[in-house]
Structure 1
């Protein structure tokens, strides 16, 4: 029995499960827009298991912080999908696994995602950590300390910017 391409594609596109998978794939590519930059930096999508959203975090401190934000994450994700697809979140340590948003961005860009060192991130922002009397590169082995320090630097920059405006 020979099938025409039109029949095959029509069957594929009319399948509700296929449409749901496409919406999920789009969600992975725009993860930071959906949940916000702060949450996206801490929690990365790993996939789903039925109605459970699987997220990966770098360390236990990030896991604790994201644990308190799971209801907001569920609300944002379900709103982006246009239906209630998920009713709970499971958090796991990344332990070297590649999150889906990084994989999706790699496919969209067509090149490898390269991580930046803390020193490069500070240089790209036009800020030198030496202004605070500490070398940003020394936290690279401890992601939780690095993240806390970057948050501190952002707070100092915002305070300086506010004083300059006043």
Structure 2
């Protein structure tokens, strides 16, 4: 169901009805002085814009006129440096103006990129604990109700299960 808003212009106060989505988008564009709305559009089309390179250099953000991209691997990051002029050309071409003048690459290091794609990682296999040779014998020396005594009992139970 479409929602509508009655819009009054300042000069002559013309009454006209506009869709609320259209009115809100123009309202938010006026509030956006840093160009963030424009950047959100870029992040949404990042995969289509960059093509095969999109998974290698993923958007992290910007600092002023520097575009910050992330790579998962130092080798990929080094190679992507050579493609920075091409990336700048494509991004600025998308905006049809020079928004960025430099591309900076950083390692992803577990951060979530702004294109919203979180790559599934293989779950870590459960580690097999090696039982210490001299485990046990401290129960008589430790107070069983103390935090250290309870912790020691829990530690022993880890090896009793295997």
User: Are 1:17 and 2:33 counterparts?
Assistant: yes
User: Are 1:50 and 2:46 counterparts?
Assistant: no
User: How many Å apart are 1:11 and its aligned residue?
Assistant: 4.7
TM-score w.r.t. structure 1 length? 0.54
Any idea what SS the aligned residue of 1:42 has? coil
Aligned to 1:32: 47
Match of 1:96 among 103, 110, 115: 110
Bigger strand fraction:
2
User: How many Å apart are 1:35 and its aligned residue?
Assistant: 1.5
Pair 50,61 (structure 1): closer, same or farther in 2 beyond 3 Å: same
Bigger helix fraction:
1
RMSD: 2.7
Unaligned runs of 5+ in 1: 106-112, 118-166
Instruction: Indicate the structure whose relative CO is greater, using CA pairs within 8 Å and at least 6 residues apart.
Output: 1
Pair 114,99 (structure 1): closer, same or farther in 2 beyond 3 Å: closer
Match of 2:101 among 72, 87, 93: 87
In structure 1, distance between residues paired with 2:32 and 2:7: 18
Larger radius of gyration: 2
Q: Would you say the 8 A contact 1:24–1:81 is kept in 2?
A: no
Equivalences, count: 103
TM-score w.r.t. structure 2 length? 0.55
